[in-house]
């Protein structure tokens, strides 16, 4: 358990250093990588399933996944913009697991103009991250994990490089189907800035738990994101918000239903997305809601999800993995 306390202490120390950061670069790191997490409201750190994409959200979850699994991820973001990724995990020992992964967000080709509006050709913009994850079983119930990332963004004539770290901790009791997690994401900073001004990474402290019912194939998840951002958010101010609205902004709720041992259905609600998208796009009845489904057959796992993460377009997420 000493290593468990180490992960907790490291998370707290980094939180104290990043709690005051309100604006940040590399916002693509906030997007969901896992279709299952997307279906559960856009983020989930506690669903202890055999799905390697969930380790992108919490590195501590990697320890319980089938080693030797290759995965591919895709999400349509905005018109002409798509997020793609790949991952491979393996087990160096009985108590440890490792994975390598990559994310790429391309914005397509755009027209370039000068200050007078004259067309001078086209340019591309892209974000990418290369990641390595290590997870260790601290005890029968506790696991810890760390992910290191090399991050690169290029927008026409400017680019930036950064190094980031995620720290994760998970407690899982299979006897009562209960999982609790704490994750500190995007710790680190820029190595090369866009224009000489240093911007922090989009730091996010997330806590969450998942609990399955004893006599029904249903599991509930509650996720609390942005726990260090209560007086000001990265994208908008909290001025004028009631206590209820402020708490709702830090709440993600998800429900899993397992019709069979090899299939899942999920629906989620994200309070932060609900307020942001409803106030700008007018989609008050649907903003923040998401849904998805998946199937696990033999060595193959497939997941799809629908959600909305910007005011321009809906997003479709798809994951495919194969265990060698």
Other beta carbons less than 10 A from residue 138's beta carbon: 22
Q: What is the pLDDT of residue 314?
A: 87
Average pLDDT of the chain, as a whole number = 85
- Which residues, other chains included, contact 103 with Cβ-Cβ below 8 Å and sequence gap of 6+? 28, 33, 56, 73, 83, 84, 85, 127, 128, 129, 131
Question: Where residue 313 falls among pLDDT bands split at 50, 70, 90?
Answer: confident
Domains along the chain with CATH numbers: 2-323 (2.40.160.60)
Q: What is the pLDDT of residues 13-67, one digit of tens each?
A: 444 444 334 456 788 999 999 999 999 999 999 999 999 899 999 999 999 899 9
- Please determine, for residue 96, whether its predicted confidence score (pLDDT) is greater than 90: yes
What's the rounded Cα separation, in Å, for the pair 145 and 166? Answer: 8
Q: What is the pLDDT of residues 187-234, one digit of tens each?
A: 999 999 988 888 889 999 999 999 999 999 999 999 999 888 765 444
């Amino acid at each position: 358990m000493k290593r468990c306390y180490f992960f907790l202490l490291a998370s707290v120390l980094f939180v104290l250093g990043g709690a005051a950061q309100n604006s940040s670069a590399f916002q693509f790191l906030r997007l969901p990588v896992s279709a299952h997490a997307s279906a559960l409201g856009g983020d989930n750190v506690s669903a202890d399933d055999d799905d390697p994409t969930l380790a992108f959200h919490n590195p501590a979850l990697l320890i319980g996944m089938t080693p030797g699994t290759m995965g591919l991820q895709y999400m349509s973001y905005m018109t002409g913009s798509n997020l793609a990724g790949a991952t491979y995990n393996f087990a160096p020992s009985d108590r440890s697991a490792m994975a390598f992964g990559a994310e790429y967000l391309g914005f397509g080709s755009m027209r370039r103009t000068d200050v007078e509006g004259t067309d001078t050709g086209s340019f591309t913009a892209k974000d990418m991250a290369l990641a390595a994850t290590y997870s260790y079983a601290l005890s029968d119930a506790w696991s810890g994990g760390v992910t290191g990332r090399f991050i690169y963004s290029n927008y026409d004539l400017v680019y930036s490089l950064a190094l980031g770290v995620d720290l994760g901790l998970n407690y899982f009791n299979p006897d009562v189907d209960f999982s609790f997690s704490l994750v500190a994401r995007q710790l680190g900073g820029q190595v090369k800035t866009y224009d000489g001004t240093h911007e922090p990474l989009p730091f996010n402290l997330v806590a969450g738990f998942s609990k399955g019912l004893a006599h029904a194939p249903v599991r509930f998840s509650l996720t609390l994101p942005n726990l260090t951002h209560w007086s000001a958010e990265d994208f908008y101010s909290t001025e004028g918000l009631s206590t209820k609205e402020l708490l709702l902004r830090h709440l993600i709720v998800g429900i899993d239903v397992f019709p069979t041992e090899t299939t899942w259905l999920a629906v989620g609600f994200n309070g932060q997305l609900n307020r942001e998208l409803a106030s700008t796009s007018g989609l008050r009845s649907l903003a923040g809601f998401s849904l998805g489904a998946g199937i696990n057959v033999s060595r193959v796992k497939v997941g799809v999800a629908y959600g909305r993460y910007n005011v321009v377009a809906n997003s479709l997420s798809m994951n495919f993995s194969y265990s060698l």
